[in-house]
Amino acid sequence: MFRASIILVTLFFSFKLYGITNIVVTTLPVYSVAYNIAHGGNLKIDMVSQTNDEMHGYGSEIMPSDILNLRKADLIIAIDDVLEKVYTEKTWKKKTIFLAENIPNVNDLHIWLSPEFIVKIADILLDQFILWDVENKSLYQNNYGIFLQRINIMLEDIGSMLQNIQDIKYFVLHDAYSNFTHYFSLNNPIGFLIDRNHNLVTSQQVLQLHRDNSTVCVLSGMKNSEFLFNLLPENVILFPTDILGTSYIKDNTADYKEVYFSIMYGLADAFVQCAKV
C-alpha cells in the first residue's frame, strides 16, 4: 500500500515536471467536445466513470478512481452543481468551472443539446486549454476551428432531417430535450410523463392528454425506457434516446471525437422515427 502511494505521488509530480496539466470532465458529451479541441496537446484530460445512464443519479455511484482523479485535478469542468450533486464538495468546487454559470440565458441544464450553447462551451474550453497550455495555442485553435466546421455540417444535416416534421406531437419523459427542440422548432410536446414534483404520470393520464387516443410516441432516456416499457399501454411506443452518450462507449474502440455528434444525430433520428408513428 505504501509503495503504491509512492508510485502515485511520483507520477503526479512527474506530470507537473513535464508541464502536464490534469483536467477532469464530468460528463461524456462535454468530454467529447474537449477531446475534439485538446487532442495533440500537452493536457491530460480524464473523464469520470460513466456508470449511470441518468445524470441525476450520478454521485451515488462515484468510483474510487474518480475520487483520486478529482483530488489531483488542476481543473474540473462540470455542468452545474445542482445537476451533478457530487460536485458540492467544497475542496473540489474551488477548482471547478460550472459551465452553466458561464453561459447566459440557460433555463434547461442539459446545455449540450443546444447547438448554440455547445459553441459557447467550446469557447470556454478553448480559453481554458490555452490558459493552461499556451505553447499549444495554435493547435487548440485549429482543432476548435475543425470542430466548428463539423458543427455547421451537423446543423445542416439535422435541419434537413427535421424540416418536414416540425408539427409532430409527442410525449417526453421530462423536459430534458427543450434546448434541442427549441433550436430545431419541435415545439409541440403533448406533455411529460414526470410532473414537476418528479412523480410519474399514470398511463390513464397519458391517454387523456392524447385527445384522439391514437398511438402515442414517447421519447425517454435509455434507463427509464426499461422501467416504462411494462407500465404504459400498448398504443404507447417508446423511443429510447441516449442524450448522455453512454451507449456509444460500450467497448474500448470508442471514438470520443464522434460521441457528441452521435448523441445529436441519434436524438434527431428518434424524432424522425417518432413522426412515422
The two most distant CA atoms of the chain are separated, in Å, by 69
pLDDT of residue 102: 94
pLDDT of residue 103: 94
Q: Helix (H, G, I), strand (E, B), or coil: what is residue 197? A: coil
Which CATH fold would you assign to the domain 165-275? Rossmann fold (3.40.50)
What's 194's DSSP letter? B
Decide whether 2-158 matches 165-275 in CATH topology: yes
Q: Helix (H, G, I), strand (E, B), or coil: what is residue 22? A: strand
Q: Distance (Å, rounded) from C-alpha 34 to C-alpha 5?
A: 29
pLDDT of residue 42: 94
pLDDT of residue 212: 53
In terms of CATH, what superfamily is 2-158?
A: Nitrogenase molybdenum iron protein domain (3.40.50.1980)
Per this entry, what is the length of the chain? 277
pLDDT of residue 17: 41
pLDDT of residue 4: 39
Query: Which residues of the chain register pLDDT less than 50?
Result: 1-17, 57-59
pLDDT of residue 155: 97
CB 115, CB 101: distance < 8 Å: no
- Helices 115-132 and 28-38, interaxial angle, to 10°? 50
CB 200, CB 226: distance < 8 Å: no
Q: Distance (Å, rounded) from C-alpha 54 to C-alpha 224?
A: 8
Percentage of the chain modeled with pLDDT above 70:
70
What's 201's DSSP letter? P
pTM: 0.83
Q: Helix (H, G, I), strand (E, B), or coil: what is residue 216? A: strand
Q: 166 to each of 162, 169, 189, 236, 275, how far by Cα in Å? A: 6, 9, 11, 20, 9
pLDDT in tens, 207-241: 555 555 566 777 777 665 555 656 666 667 778 88
pLDDT of residue 168: 83
Domain spans in the chain, listed from the N-terminal domain onward: 2-158, 165-275
